[in-house]
Structure 1
Amino acid sequence: MADKTAKLSWDDNTVELPIHSPTAGPDVIDISKLYAQGDVFTYDPGFTSTASCESTITYIDGEEGVLLHRGYPIQQLAEKSSYLEVCYLLLYGDLPTAAELEKFVHDVTHHTMLHEQMYNFTRGFRRDAPPMAIMVGMVGAMSAFYHDSTDITDPWQREVAAFRMIAKMPTIAAVAYKYSIGQPFVYPRNDCDYATNFLRMCFSLPAEDYMPNPILSRAMDRIFTLHADHEQNASTSTVRLASSSGANPFACIAAGIACLWGPAHGGANKAALEMLEEIGTPDRIPEYIARAKDKDDPFRLMGFGHRVYKNFDPRAVVMKQSADEVLDLLGIEDNPILQVAKELEKAALDDPYFADRKLFPNVDFYSGIILNAMGFPTSMFTPIFAVSRTVGWVSQWKEMLMDPKQKIGRPRQLYMGATERDYVEVEDR
């Protein structure tokens, strides 16, 4: 029960609305009864001032640069934990014991294989199909290949569906990548950890096996961890909205992938790399720094600052550490893009203009550098994001299904069209 209320008055009407106090963050005015009591509703484009659900999974304070998963700071998780341990945390609410983690890792690892017919399904795409297009189709098709885990009323089937998606998403992303470049599919191996398995499936060949350096595996694991969940963003909200209709879990996650595909959501690290390619060489950095400061120039430094984090991106500190480790391992002498990235980072951090506006490099800037150094084309950046975010989508999906307050999503609208008018016969128009 809310212990505070807010009064909303207009004309001769007044309604009292309960105010809820969350465990962290600002108070929330409950407007769920506003239409019933006052015959009005609110207008909030993008729902940026509307809480659509209760959640115990992720908390963000953009002003202070805070990101917590189940109460644990993201910096601690990225430095001390692993992606699969974070998956367990997001799914079940607490960090696992050693025995629980061992079993969870075993179970996920032994679900990484795909149904063999899914490879035949993949071959139906055009040879130049974008990896994201293949991922949307393949994940949606999982409901046909794994229809024994689509009954959302069955707790056991929900659990199996969750495992299958977390385990198989790296395999699907690697299959999409291999198909897009015309190389044979590589099967997962149960003796590899999650990140190593993914890198091996992407870069190994039948004629030449590939086992990544542990530094690269650790960097990929951190990319997965730092993108695991991010509260009620566009793709997570899409998953919840699709789930509210009772759709099967694979269809809901496919909807989330489709939303992530949009450049305003999942394309930030891709945009950062494309900007570095546009700059081209380190000697052109001053020109682009000047353009970024010019209010009349449409150019913006991509990968600097963040729409949510107004102070600093808490994920960027750990991601920078991994970027430095990867670049030290692989070198940047023969890669002009990485040379530009390092020089641009230094120039921006040393410039008071960017420091005063808190336009620091964010997680997308550093993750883009790492993925480029590893050899991934930009077309794979968003699929890798989708692999990372799958556990967040699945956790939010499971939480929603257990919430007795949830109902089918049905946003309202501010109608500005024509009022009722009579049909006119075509010859009289």
Structure 2
Amino acid sequence: MPGIDDVIAAETVLSDVDGANGRLIVRGLPVEELARNGTAESVAHLLFEGFFPDLPDERGLARAIGTARRHAFQRLEPHLPAIAALSPVEALRAGLSFIPDGDDLYTALMLSGAAAVLTPAIIRFNGGQQAIAPDPKIGQSADMIRMTSGAPASQAEERALNAYLATVSEHGLNASTFAARIAASTKAGLGSAVIAGLSALKGPLHGGAPGPVLDMLHEIGEASRAEAWLIQALARGDRLMGFGHRIYKVRDPRADALKSAVKALARAGGAPNRLTLAEAVEQAALDILHKTKPNRPLETNVEFYTAVLLDALGFPADSFTSIFATARIIGWIAHAREQEMNGRLIRPQSRYVGPVPKQAA
């Protein structure tokens, strides 16, 4: 089918996705390093650098992001009862629309802060609990866990969520990022670009797959059942969620980065049983896929260990796409600013293949 695969639509300083060799570089740093050492705040500074003239140093930006969470919560709290009736990702999209649609650093921080407070608030509303106001003095990952569970995050939990947010913050010109850049090319504003990106991410072919991974793990239940369950699923023609990627022809490097984060969390006492099951299912699936589909590159992708990690941190499956968006928003904003600075409207051509008027006799 006609498409734009392999068409270069932008030049960017933000990331290099090497699908042939299974590498992801974000502003000169391998994704594995970001996962080990990065935080939501440090990666925001990395991605925003050069795009905002008033960007403070990393410590100052961390304080500003904390303040933005508080301001965003104050703006959004009156609207929470109305948007809580929506699904978490739709509530996030509705909530972001209340943020003024500027192009400056304040807008960027408010969008990031709004996402971080909205998802925990909606989770609590759906559980019959009141939203918890953010604490601007702690990191974004720790605060998201605290606002969701009502209890302080452990160091291991904070490190695990930071690893996730850092790992998935930026990934080249994927569908949602391209949508964000298209909106930004019209000078619509950062809020419009972010909502465009979120609307694309919402689709199950892009950011909606971690939840089904968790469904698969729950259905399998025990490591001893993995092989038989997976064989039956393939015999039905089902897709094994968490395996295969449009770009990566080898293993998705983000999968190993997140697997390491899950292992570190398990060593600290979090979710050892989940990790044991996940590793057994992963190995069984890879063995079966290599035997039954030897000509297709179906390796573990980022969604598999995303599901394991977010579940271990206590986030419900229907919130996974919203948490993904909370991480990716900083990438969308950086791409939007890069596109705006380029100043070029994205306007590709199409080839008409419909009917033509009949020639007059």
Unaligned 5+ segments in structure 1 are: 1-42, 153-157, 205-209, 423-429
Query: How many residues are aligned here?
Result: 351
2:338 to 399, 409, 418: 399
Aligned to 2:239: 300
Instruction: Tell me the CA shift for residue 168 of structure 1.
Output: 2.9
Q: Distance in 2 between the 1:420 and 1:121 partners? A: 52
2:227 to 286, 290, 298: 286
Q: Distance in 2 between the 1:176 and 1:421 partners? A: 56
Relative distance call for 1:70 and 1:350 in structure 2 (3 A) is same
Instruction: Tell me the CA shift for residue 293 of structure 1.
Output: 6.2
One-letter amino acid of the structure 1 residue matched with residue 224 of structure 2 = D
Aligned to 2:78: 120
Give the number of the structure with larger relative contact order, counting CA–CA contacts within 8 Å between residues 6 or more apart.
2
Matches within 5 A, 1:75-86: 75-86=32-43
Deviations 1:268-296 (A, max 9, x none): 211211222333433321213434665xx
1:271 to 204, 208, 212: 212
Contact 1:44 1:50 in 2 (8 A): no
TM-score, with length taken from structure 1: 0.75
Unaligned 5+ segments in structure 2 are: none
Structural RMSD (CA): 2.5
Task: Using the TM superposition, name which of 372-381 and 167-176 deviates more.
Answer: 167-176
1:257 correspondence with 2:203: no
Deviations 1:122-159 (A, max 9, x none): 2223x54211111101111212xxx6xx2x4xxxxx22
Contact 1:139 1:251 in 2 (8 A): no
Contact 2:92 2:119 in 1 (8 A): yes
1:107 correspondence with 2:64: yes
| Paired-residue identity, % | 27
Task: Using the TM superposition, name which of 381-390 and 99-108 deviates more.
Answer: 99-108
Aligned to 1:353: 291
One-letter amino acid of the structure 2 residue matched with residue 330 of structure 1 = G
2:97 to 132, 140, 153: 140
* Greater Cα radius of gyration, structure 1 or 2: 1
The structure carrying a bigger helix percent of its residues is 2
Deviations 1:199-224 (A, max 9, x none): 101111xxxxx111111111100110
Relative distance call for 1:416 and 1:197 in structure 2 (3 A) is same
SS at match of 1:60: strand
One-letter amino acid of the structure 2 residue matched with residue 257 of structure 1 = L
Q: Distance in 2 between the 1:384 and 1:219 partners? A: 13
SS at match of 1:112: helix
2:327 to 376, 388, 408: 388
1:212 to 128, 146, 153: 153
TM-score, with length taken from structure 2: 0.89
Deviations 1:208-254 (A, max 9, x none): xx111111111100110010011111111111111222212212211
Contact 1:323 1:367 in 2 (8 A): no
Q: Distance in 1 between the 2:221 and 2:254 partners? A: 27
Contact 1:129 1:180 in 2 (8 A): no
2:122 to 176, 182, 191: 176
Aligned to 1:240: 181
SS at match of 1:220: helix
Q: Distance in 1 between the 2:58 and 2:182 partners? A: 31
Relative distance call for 1:365 and 1:93 in structure 2 (3 A) is farther
